[in-house]
Structure 1
Amino acid sequence: MALSSIQIKQILDHLDNCQRPLFFFDDDQDGVCSFLQLYRYKKEGKGIIVKTTPKLGTFFVNKVEEYEPDKVFILDLAVVEQEFLDEMKVPVIWIDHHGPFERENVKYFNPRISKWEDNHPTSYMCHQVVQQDLWIAAVGCIADWFIPPFLNEFKNEYPDLIDKPYKGVGDIIYNTRLGLLTRIFAFILKGKTNDVMKSIKILTRINSPHEILNKETAQGKFIFNRYAEANKIYEPLLNEALETAKKAEEKLAIFKYSDDRTSFTSELSNEAIYRFPDKIVLVAREKNDEMKCSLRSSKIVLPPLIEKCLVGLEGYGGGHEHACGLNIKTRDFEEFLRRFKELI
């Protein structure tokens, strides 16, 4: 279901009736694909990627004041602080599939408000609104481990991108060219914000996935080459992570690595849980006296366990039922693991 026909019309009206929109979006494929769809439809405005945290707080108020938009769109961000909304002097439209939360001074579109189990990605909802750029919507949905209702339409339009049979979304991500495209989008979101926004700006001008996959244009080559550079770092880490999961005798497979520059914890944990679905996978990256972790499970619901294990420790975490993030001080990491192992 996701958005109702009334909600679709409301969002479209907001989009059509503004001249200077400002878009805040999450730094994953779902977030960037949501932004790309709305921006490519509107062809006006400015995008700001929120890389530090999936939370929009008062830190970002000055970004709004600097740009002076006539409307603010918030896409795929799990938390928007009421203090931020209180500072807004223009309409705010928040489209998301986390939470939900109670907020004032915002037009909040979240399918989980009416149906808790409805977890359609934000990029799917944006496609409901603008009805264009099917390939971008597909990347956002598949990357969020969601098979969209329009997938058959996508296969008819791009038969070479899903040219193998699949039982689940993991088969698409790891065995097809559409899956490669989702990884390309993930990897160009790594690195410095200026470099990331340069890549996103180029994506606003690309008209076909084949421009990227076949390197048919200068823009497509640029995007593919940025992915290839990141992949040189990723592949050795992936081999180590998969070997660790394979050898793990316990239910919990733990892979730790140190890298101050680039985080691949989400991608590593996703691929490890696909290859070893009977495990619970925890990938941890040590940086600045913190362990930045991604947890994945095929069956166990993770958020309540994480919340319980963090009591009295310095850290925070949460997310979806089977995919969570966790940040915890290095000194508390082993205690967290001890508690977590007891609960599973």
Structure 2
Amino acid sequence: MDRRRFVSAAGAITAAGALTTLSRPAIARGGIRWQMVSRWPEAFPDQMESGRRLAERITRMSDGRLSVEVVGPRDLGDYGDTFDKVSSGEIAMARSLSYDWRDRGLAFEILTVVPFGMTETERTIWIQDLGGQALWDDLFGDFGVKPFLAGSLGPQSFGWFADPIRSLDDLRGLRYRTTGVNVPIMRALGARPVSMPRSEIGPRFEAGELDAFELVGPAVDLAYDLHLFLPNYLFPSFHQTAGSIQLIVNREMYERLPEDLQAIVANAAQAEHVANLTRVHASNTAALRTLREQHSVTIGTVPDDVLTRIGAVASDFLSQAREEAPSEHRRVFDSFTTARMQIRAWTELTEGNFMRARALPFSYPSSG
């Protein structure tokens, strides 16, 4: 894939004009003013709030020298064009998901989610300490974009079903709404996966065109009333174990900033990564309790033998995708899988065994 084809000569002219418009006159007035596109609308839990918190952090830390205004996903045109607009400088920055542009290659998917991949903590370790950020910078740098971690959708669900999944036979023929890499995996298992926007889930289900679906996790699914359609809510998600959120910034505009403002953007993104991750976990904790106690939703898990088979299919799919990917995408894939194995040994020895020990049959103090 020729990644530079996405920025045309006309786009380069637009970029130069946008940089002049957004930077020089603003500096002449005593401050730089940028807009940040949020992938998520107001109704989506936690994420527009997170974008505003990030923008406010940058504005306050810079004492107004760099002020950021957050706009909705469609306020500056089609959201699908956002990456190209950040690349060209038409938009200064966006808070988004890399896999929104997965058609550009395997690494764009990997930088958001990987089947049976990492937890968000493990992914952060890879990005910040095991070489992930440098590869990410190289990949996006060819598009004129500087990326940062800036939040997480958290661990997600396997989905909503009429009945529990007890065997692979229960997946065969199932019209199951899902997205991305999960589509070919589910198809290989005999399901009939379909992709559709969130807004179509309810109408398509009520029209008898859908048997099961997954969206995100408890807080988001509760906010969009998905519990009204099906009673069984199954875990774990194997394909979206950690939905990493990115802040992408036009690279030339970022590098034009004074060094202290560059540091402010980087540190504000890092701070919001932690703030949003904890907020999402807290929201999901509360929403899961609401679903169970107020809406009588049955919370269940997918059997190990089913997950084992899914894991084998996912592994085959990823291996083939790696072989077909350009070299720069293979480097990201190989770095990810190497880090996964290294970190996994520590996670399973410590947190994995602790989770097992915590579930042992002994009493523990409670609030009542």
TM-score in same-fold range (> 0.5): no
Q: TM-score, normalised by structure 1?
A: 0.27
Q: Give the strand-richer structure, 1 or 2.
A: 1
Larger radius of gyration: 2
Q: TM-score, normalised by structure 2?
A: 0.26
